[in-house]
């Protein structure tokens, strides 16, 4: 698709707008950008003429964003952030012939993927990797990633999903907490303090139903939006948690966590490697797919 240059603003003009909006002052924006106040004012005026809207209203000694300016500001900040990220990635890979950008689930990335990345780099010397957290599907056309790790169903627009593994969770807690409760059977956990992952609120109810318990009290307890937070809270002894075994390998090995009952439950979704259609033939993406497939349990 051919872009219209008339519709593409200068990045320095967008910087002037964002800076003036943040300070509520053309003078302070000029000071930060090392420009004159008149230069900033001229850039804002040019941008307003290009857009055909008024971005600022003059109120006494300050400039205040108009309604159009408030709607425009988040998009400008997003664009400036993406521009900076693009430049940083290019600079990071400038000395290498090969680079790979990976989007991954936060806890999966920090606890499972990154400890294993040295193995991939050993097989692919000279490769520079960029790993960023993404918790939900995104548009590969808008975010420049070569591949993504996805938990859910094998559905992603304009991309191919390769199955990696299922997810198996177990009830775990600190050894001290386990000892402090007289737990003879799974249903005894109904009266114990439970920890929850906010994005999967039904896990305990499903586990109790699978193990002869009741779901009536399965929703009480503390909630967290990342598995990493649930894990650390469990280690601190604040409750019992349903956790994927692969995420707590180190805690189990060190004795910081213990499996309460050996009653694993496979969750309804799985993990997939997602590659955008335009990069399916990328040799490095193919190498990563082959490598990660060997790392997950069969």
CATH of domain 11-94: 1.10.10.10
Share of residues in the chain with pLDDT > 90 (%): 80
Q: What is the value of pTM for the model shown?
A: 0.70
* Residue 158 to residue 170: CA distance in whole angstroms: 35
Residue 160 has φ and ψ, to the nearest 5°, of -110, 135
Reading the chain (298 residues) residue by residue, the pLDDT tens digits are 444 566 677 889 999 999 999 999 999 999 999 999 999 999 999 999 989 999 999 887 788 999 999 999 999 998 888 888 777 766 655 554 588 999 999 999 999 999 999 999 999 998 999 999 999 999 998 888 999 999 999 999 999 999 999 999 999 999 999 999 999 999 999 999 999 999 999 999 999 999 988 888 899 999 999 999 999 999 999 999 999 999 999 999 999 999 999 999 999 999 999 999 999 999 999 999 999 999 987 6
Residues 6 or more apart whose CB falls under 8 angstroms from that of 151 comprise 105, 108, 167, 269, 270, 271, 272
72 near 55, Cβ under 8 Å?
A: yes
Tokens of 26: 């053309």
Q: Within 13 Å of residue 159, how many CA atoms lie on the same side as its CB?
A: 24
CA distance 151 to 247: 14
pLDDT tens per residue across span 9-54: 788 999 999 999 999 999 999 999 999 999 999 999 999 998 999 9
pLDDT of 213 reads 85
Give residue 288's pLDDT: 97
Give the CATH class of 166-269.
alpha beta
Single out the residue of 114, 152, 135 nearest to residue 250, CA to CA. 114
pLDDT at 86: 75
Whole-number pLDDT of residue 53:
93
CA 292, 296, 298: angle at the middle one, nearest 5? 125
Task: Check residue 58 and give its pLDDT.
Answer: 83
Model confidence pLDDT, tens digit, residues 53-95: 999 998 877 889 999 999 999 999 988 888 887 777 666 555 5
Structural domain boundaries in the chain: 11-94, 166-269
Which residue is associated with the tokens 């971005």?
A: 55
Distance CA 159, CA 152 (A): 14
């Amino acid at each position: 698709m051919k872009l219209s240059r008339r519709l593409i603003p200068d990045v320095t003009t967008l910087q002037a707008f964002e800076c003036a909006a943040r300070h509520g002052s053309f003078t302070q924006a000029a000071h930060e950008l090392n420009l004159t106040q008149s230069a900033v004012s001229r850039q804002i005026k040019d941008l307003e003429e290009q857009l055909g809207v008024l971005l600022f209203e003059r109120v006494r000694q300050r400039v205040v964003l108009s309604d159009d300016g408030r709607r425009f500001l988040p998009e400008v900040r997003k664009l400036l952030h993406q521009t900076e990220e693009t430049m940083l990635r290019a600079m990071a890979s400038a000395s290498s012939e090969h680079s790979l950008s990976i989007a991954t689930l936060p806890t999966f990335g920090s606890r499972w993927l990154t400890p294993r990345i040295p193995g991939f780099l050993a097989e692919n010397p000279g490769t520079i990797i960029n790993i960023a957290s993404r918790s939900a599907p995104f548009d590969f056309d808008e975010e420049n990633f070569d591949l993504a790790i996805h938990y859910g169903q094998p559905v992603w627009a304009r991309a191919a999903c390769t199955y990696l593994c299922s997810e198996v969770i177990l009830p775990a807690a600190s050894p001290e907490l386990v000892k402090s409760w007289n737990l003879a059977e799974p249903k005894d956990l109904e009266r114990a303090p439970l920890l929850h992952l906010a994005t999967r609120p039904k896990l305990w109810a499903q586990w109790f139903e699978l193990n002869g318990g009741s779901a009536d009290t399965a929703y009480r307890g503390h909630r967290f939006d990342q598995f990493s937070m649930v894990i650390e809270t469990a280690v601190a002894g604040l409750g019992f948690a349903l956790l994927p075994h692969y995420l707590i390998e180190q805690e189990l090995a060190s004795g910081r966590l213990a499996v309460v009952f050996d009653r694993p439950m496979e969750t309804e979704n799985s993990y997939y490697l997602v590659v955008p259609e335009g990069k399916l033939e990328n040799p490095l993406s193919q190498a990563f797919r082959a490598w990660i497939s060997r790392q997950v349990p069969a």
